Amino acid sequence: MAGTLRNKILIIEDDPGICTFLKTTLTASGYDPLTASDGKSALQIISSHCPDCILLDLGLPDMDGRSIIQSVRSWTQTPIIVISARSHERDKAEALDEGADDYITKPFGTVELLARIRAALRHTCTTAEKDEIGLNGVYRVGGLEIDYRKHRVIVSGNDVHLTPTEFRIVSLLGKHAGRVLTYKAILQELWGPAASMDNKILRVYMAGIRRKIESDPNEPKYIFTEVGVGYRMAENDEDA
């Protein structure tokens, strides 16, 4: 239970209403919230208090949220969850490509917020998590199994025949389960920095993957579309 951890969460948000809501929610959930209403004080708090996780509103009075991400990433891997308005998909994708770990869209619910924070905090202990996949070489969520050693994907006990590229996409998302991967990040991982930034090809692959692994490709259970941003593999949440 998160309540015993007292992780420090820094809220960087200039809207006092949202800031108070976040602070109350986090305190009630057993976290230790810190707040900053502009970029300059945020950077000071990050260096002096070393928060365990950062919630970052991209629209701040004195600084672009993305320059905060760049600045933070130059010295720490503290997870950053971007809080963004609904209509700004490009901003979200850019923030993720700058090094943010996840994003949440306003207006958001408490359950979703807390789930994202738990996932971000879990990913800080990435060594434990990687070992978990590394030791038995298998990622499992629901009826889906990705066997990294045997290069197999199994759904409800049945072998799924993926093409090599489809397997690379599924295994990449599985390694980062619970986190959104941007189109750009996936394309570059598959085809290197010179990859075409055409998302259409990914959509074609994803349609093929979903036909093979989802019982209803229109209502995916394993790989979710983050509209205008990328894809997210369902996370095995049983230890949350």
Site residues (vs Ca ion, CB under 5 A) = 14, 57, 59
Task: Tell me the C-alpha distance between 51 and 141, whole Å.
Answer: 30
Provide the minimum distance between the beta carbon of 58 and Ca ion in the complex, in angstroms, as a whole number: 7
Q: Which of 74, 37, 79, 78 is nearest to 59 (CA)?
A: 37
Nearer to Ca ion, 3 or 107 (CB): 107
Tokens of 19: 């800031």
Nearer to Ca ion, 59 or 208 (CB): 59
Provide the minimum distance between the beta carbon of 21 and Ca ion in the complex, in angstroms, as a whole number: 13
Provide the minimum distance between the beta carbon of 240 and Ca ion in the complex, in angstroms, as a whole number: 29
Task: Tell me the C-alpha distance between 66 and 63, whole Å.
Answer: 8
Nearer to Ca ion, 59 or 228 (CB): 59
Strand blocks (E) in 32-151:
32-36, 53-57, 80-85, 102-106, 138-141, 144-147
Nearer to Ca ion, 14 or 98 (CB): 14
Provide the minimum distance between the beta carbon of 237 and Ca ion in the complex, in angstroms, as a whole number: 30
Helix (H) or strand (E) holding 112: helix 110-124
The CB-nearest residue to Ca ion is 59
Taking the CA of residue 8 as centre, how many other CA atoms within 13 Å lie in the half-sphere pointing to its CB? 12
Nearer to Ca ion, 88 or 210 (CB): 88
Q: Please report the sign of the dihedral spanned by the C-alpha atoms of residue 105, residue 108, residue 112, residue 118.
A: positive
Nearer to Ca ion, 39 or 178 (CB): 39
Instruction: Count the Cβ atoms, other than its own, within 10 Å of residue 163.
Output: 12
Provide the minimum distance between the beta carbon of 54 and Ca ion in the complex, in angstroms, as a whole number: 15
Provide the minimum distance between the beta carbon of 60 and Ca ion in the complex, in angstroms, as a whole number: 6
Instruction: Count the Cβ atoms, other than its own, within 10 Å of residue 142.
Output: 11
